């Protein structure tokens, strides 16, 4: 999750409970981060900013803390980004219909792909980028902590919705 000041707040899941990762929040040097994408094997993450042209890649340590990081300035301000199913390519889109691509090394180091960015036929607005495995190929398994984290998030959202519904009925 990103913080209001552009930091990255990280949580670990162990023995049935969440805890703040050592050193969290990690400061990105960017006042507003739009989101974070993590490679499928938990080697690195990439954060992006729609307020300034900025990509931040960082290696993930075994305890969930961030290791070596690098900040890059792409041609445009990314509004959305996603890593390929194998974590080898980062795709980023802006709100004007452009798509950019970066090769991602196992360390999280990014290098720009020649021929990008490209103008797409997408309408200007708020884009979303998603990647899918090739037909017939197996998708990498989601890390256990991500599955549990998503379950906890959905369960929490369901509880909040139930509480709101009870309040509405009692009014």
The number of C-alpha atoms within 13 Å of 44 and in the hemisphere containing its C-beta is 24
- Hey, which CATH number is domain 7-139, 3.90.78.10, 2.40.50.140, 3.30.1240.10, 2.130.10.10? 2.130.10.10
Helices marked H in the chain: 144-170
Handedness of CA 27, 30, 34, 37 (dihedral sign): negative
Tokens representing 139? 């998708």
pTM over 0.85: no
pLDDT by residue (tens digit) across 100-151? 999 999 988 999 999 999 988 888 887 888 777 776 666 555 554 444 444 4
List own/partner pairs for 19-22 with CB under 8 A and 24 or more apart: 21/63, 21/64, 21/65, 22/63, 22/64, 22/65
Is 29 strand, coil or helix?
coil
């Amino acid at each position: 999750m990103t913080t209001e000041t552009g930091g990255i707040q990280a949580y670990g899941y162990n023995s049935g409970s969440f805890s703040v990762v050592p050193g969290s929040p990690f400061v990105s040097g960017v006042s507003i981060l739009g989101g974070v994408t993590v490679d499928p094997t938990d080697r690195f993450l990439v954060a992006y900013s729609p307020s300034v042209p900025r990509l931040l890649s960082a290696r993930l340590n075994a305890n969930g803390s961030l290791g070596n990081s690098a900040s890059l300035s792409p041609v445009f301000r990314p509004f959305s980004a996603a890593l390929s199913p194998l974590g080898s390519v980062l795709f980023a889109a802006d709100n004007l219909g452009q798509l950019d691509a970066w090769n991602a090394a196992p360390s999280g180091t990014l290098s720009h792909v020649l021929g990008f960015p490209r103008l797409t036929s997408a309408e200007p607005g708020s884009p979303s980028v998603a990647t899918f495995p090739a037909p017939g190929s197996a998708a990498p398994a989601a890390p256990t902590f991500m599955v549990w984290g998503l379950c906890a998030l959905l369960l929490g959202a369901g509880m909040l919705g139930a509480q709101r519904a009870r309040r509405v009925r009692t009014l």
